[in-house]
Structure 1
């Protein structure tokens, strides 16, 4: 088999890249290790930057998103009962859209189906070969049979544990990592959200986030020890702890119910440089991880896709021989800004085990400055709705 671009990974990054290429008439094949149902069953964040929204529209898949998504013109930052509303419309004239990552993935698969583009599921033992030559290829097994796809380029969209990043020799790549000493215990419940905008809450009891998927489906998180077992948290214990951490006005009206999903997400920051090696290009979690504070994971993957898709289109459609050479530099420039914002939000809103009384006072002063300073609110808003590509 031969194609122009092999995309390893059938999550939203790989699918969005494939959709860009399909629209441009560039052949591609997606290889996915799991089943389609497994990919669609993943519970992930759902805050879309304006750039991600515009990309979905540009590839012809914005209709359901625009119909079912929830436009958010602001967000709440709180410390105990002290609230700050960050007004995106005032500070940026832009907004974000709450639309679940599962729904984004579903739309992308349906678009790929409509295009008749090829996606191979349950692919095992994928190996990237000859990435630094003019004739790269990928070998893999599927249904106990060996296969090979020859191609021009390979896009590694297969996540942190995928095969793409380790293909780049250790002496070539440089990796930067910060592991945070806590996690987020999250539950999904079929209850109305406590507020029509997200609430990022710091308190004397710790961090909490009130989020949503739709008008009757809420997602809530509390900071917990990274070694906690979700099974050790009863629903009642979670709701009681959440009430302790959010402003009283919201704790009083919080509607609770049985959890339909409960898990703990570790928090870490990670970046791999470079994001390209020969004809192999990394996108999304294969190259970088952000803590969920600030909702940058999917959106940063989408920005990678934007840079790579445009470089591939310039290469194939405009015969621009230099277009792909600058992908890593362009992508990383924005990645590091997203990493900074996620790190800053995490530092502002969480309790750290070694936090001193001075550190605590600095957090309080930071919140006070944010509340009193329109320019600081503007900086937060610009980063939250998404920096320009």
Structure 2
């Protein structure tokens, strides 16, 4: 071990006079040497390297460019995370295909034979009632009687087409009575909630659908129904397109987290433009400014209808009412914005251009 590593170089006062040739031998020098000689302290073994000991004793450490491992390296920064791409929540190909197919059936029946279109409405109403009552039974144990609802719902649509508003009201009242009577054939437990749900279903699905049948009775009934369908679809499309691209402010996060205020503005803008065009070129005696008001009303009612069914589905704990339509869900998932919009369009058209 190199002693110089533990202190200063030797001096005369500690180790004796510096070397000046060979030291003479003799007792005097032996005695002096015995007095001045000190035992070297026992030092524990020190590791050759590692830890803080090397730094404390000033041990030289290799460095420089030849020893790259001793050069501090800056940590490599991770690449910034790629923001997730926005994706549609449904199969768009299936949704578009089903939508085009349904549109072709509706338009063909609407302009060829009006009675066939009434049949389309009846089928949609019955299937929608089946979906609604099935989900109520599955998730809440509510057994709304389907048979009187289906028969009464079909009768309500036909009565609205044949007898107008008076016929629709009479058929609705009889359907409600049929629901009350039909449920009496079962035990009384749960009677109140079952008949309440049944009457609600009768008003929610077939009664609102009768306004579509009543639009069809006018001379330009096919154009009125087409205007109603186009405005509702355009409103939904505008809300989806603008909300998906620019949406950042939630409209009703507790009810439907996917809907945004930007989407609502898109629905209003698209529907107002479509309304102006439809009223100007499709409706007899209609004007563009009436179409602007009609489009605004449709956007509001379609949005409320969509939120209303979202509220029902949240209460039931489901995403869709059914699986009948690929890419869309069930029939009720397509009727949610159409049903509450039907009476709004019917009323405004009557106000603007008469009942026809």
Q: Normalised by the size of structure 2, how large is the TM-score?
A: 0.28
Structure number with higher relative contact order (C-alpha < 8 Å, ≥ 6 residues apart)? 1
Q: Normalised by the size of structure 1, how large is the TM-score?
A: 0.26
The structure carrying a bigger helix percent of its residues is 2
